């Protein structure tokens, strides 16, 4: 067995989910999976592709029309990539793996925020890179001074950004974006920006990928798992400059050849005809976010206001339990499951992640139980 792979643990989110499954009748607020049906246009697009026998390999980079639709969509966000600069992957997950496999040599240092989506650290470990964590502000927004300090001290080659953030819901504001752009311009660094939650944002959208002068230093990762409530359809994408894409394409080609053909055709229909569904889902998430944050504060939690994605990351520091202990007890005593913040790295300790991918009724029931649990602590 490969030593690096053996040293990596399975995701703490999955680990906890496996415990939840054993508790009968538990209400789970653990999943990063929207509870809406995938838009009808996408389903029909997939069915049509099957009927038309579009079940063969596509181009390695993916169906041209889908790449062209993605290029148009990104332009609406102020992010400019041509269809030649886009590669369709098997979810955002393959995009992350491909990037690090293509970029990293043994020992290369990668700046990764903490807390963060666990795949960045695990994949960097698997491919032999070295993780250098950087801290965020108290409200989980980016602190460019912390990044600069670590960059200088450690000599890092790569920087991971991810806004809106899983698990905190933080987004990038204009000031943060502009400071990051200045930093990226002035240093020899390549940035991987994972923006898979970009369609679920309650503020204005800002990204370092909006700055064309640093295009050769930015790799943009996104996908449709969250945007179209389609986590099982497994379509993501990478957009970047040709010089980097040339290498990423080799990893993608030898790893998977191409993403699933029929689903790619479905996503074309999604981008053409389902954007109203995306807005509907975003508005629903906003209502739920307001409800959950309001209730949590009323119960007595300190909560940083999430501005995107569909997670809240309240502090549990005042209860003097580790996040793992807190979640285990909440699960066993009240049958409500949340993810321990420690699943998202060292910076996640002292917090729990609550996903609001659930109906208001389910959220209300769970929050009532959380309230009872806190009263008896
Ligand atoms: C920040 C982030 N990036 C990437 C992914 C992976 O997405 P996919 O399911 O499309 O592989 C997730 C999934 O939860 C995520 O939260």
For a pocket test of ligand 1, which of 30, 113, 119 has the largest count of ligand atoms closer than 8 A to its C-beta? 119
Give 162's contacts (C-beta < 8 A, 6+ positions apart).
113, 116, 117, 120, 193, 194, 195, 196
Ligand 1 midpoint to CA 298 (Å): 31
Closest by Cα among 371, 358, 362, 365 to 314: 371
Q: Which stretches of the chain drop beneath a pLDDT of 50?
A: none
Distance from first CA to last CA of the chain, Å, rounded?
44
| Residues flanking ligand 1, CB < 6 Å | 32, 91-93, 117, 162, 166, 194, 196, 223, 225, 231, 236
Ligand 1: distance of its center to the CA of 233 in Å?
12
**Three-class secondary structure of residue 5 per DSSP:** helix
Entry pTM: 0.96
Cα 219 from Cα 322, distance rounded (Å): 36
pLDDT tens digits along 238-287: 999 999 999 999 999 999 999 999 999 999 999 999 999 999 999 999 99
Of the candidates 103, 143, 147, the residue with the CA atom closest to the CA atom of residue 124: 103
Which residue of 91, 92, 357 sits with most ligand 1 atoms within 8 Å of its CB, as the best mutation to test the pocket?
Answer: 92
Reference 347, options 120, 107, 192; nearest CA is 120
* Sequence-ordered list of residues with C-beta below 8 angstroms from that of 131, at least 6 positions apart, any chain: 109, 110, 112, 121, 124, 125
CA of 73 to the centre of ligand 1 (A): 19
Output phi, psi for 240, to 5 deg.
-165, 170
- From 91, 163, 224, give the residue whose CB has the most ligand 1 atoms within 8 Å, as the site to mutate: 91
pLDDT digits (tens, 9 = 90+) for 76-105: 999 999 999 999 999 999 999 999 999 999
Condensed to tens digits (0 to 9), the pLDDT of residues 124-137 reads 999 999 999 999 99
């Amino acid at each position: 067995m490969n030593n690096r792979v053996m040293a990596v643990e399975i995701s703490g989110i999955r680990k906890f989910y496996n415990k939840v499954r054993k508790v009968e009748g538990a209400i789970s607020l653990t999943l990063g999976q929207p509870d809406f049906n995938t838009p009808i246009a996408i389903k029909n697009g997939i069915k049509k592709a099957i009927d038309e026998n579009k079940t063969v390999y596509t181009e390695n980079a993916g169906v041209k029309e889908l790449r062209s639709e993605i290029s148009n969509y990104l332009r609406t966000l102020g992010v400019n990539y041509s269809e030649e600069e886009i590669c369709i992957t098997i979810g955002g997950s393959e995009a992350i793996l491909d990037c690090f496999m293509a970029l990293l040599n043994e020992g290369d240092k990668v700046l990764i925020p903490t807390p963060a989506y666990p795949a960045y650290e695990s994949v960097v470990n698997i491919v032999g890179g070295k993780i250098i964590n950087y801290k965020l502000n108290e409200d989980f927004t980016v602190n460019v001074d912390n990044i600069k300090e670590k960059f200088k001290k450690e000599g890092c080659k790569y920087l991971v950004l991810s806004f809106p953030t899983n698990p905190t819901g933080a987004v990038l504001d204009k000031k943060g974006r502009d400071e990051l752009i200045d930093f990226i311009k002035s240093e020899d660094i390549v940035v991987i920006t994972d923006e898979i939650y970009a369609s679920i944002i309650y503020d204005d959208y800002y990204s370092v990928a909006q700055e064309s002068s640093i295009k050769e230093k930015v790799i943009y990762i996104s996908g449709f798992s969250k945007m179209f409530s389609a986590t099982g359809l497994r379509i993501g994408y990478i957009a970047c400059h040709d010089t980097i894409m040339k290498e990423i394409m080799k990893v993608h080609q030898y790893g998977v050849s191409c993403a699933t053909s029929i689903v790619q055709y479905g996503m074309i229909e999604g981008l053409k005809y389902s954007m109203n569904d995306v807005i509907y889902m975003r508005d629903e998430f906003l209502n739920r976010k307001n409800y959950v944050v309001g209730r949590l504060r009323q119960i007595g939690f300190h909560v940083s206001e999430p501005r995107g994605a569909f997670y809240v990351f309240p502090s549990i520091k005042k209860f003097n339990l580790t996040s793992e202990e807190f979640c285990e007890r909440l699960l066993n005593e009240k049958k409500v499951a949340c993810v321990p913040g420690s699943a998202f790295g060292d910076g996640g300790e002292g917090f729990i992640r609550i996903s609001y991918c659930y109906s208001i009724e389910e959220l209300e029931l769970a929050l009532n139980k959380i309230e009872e649990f806190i009263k008896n602590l």
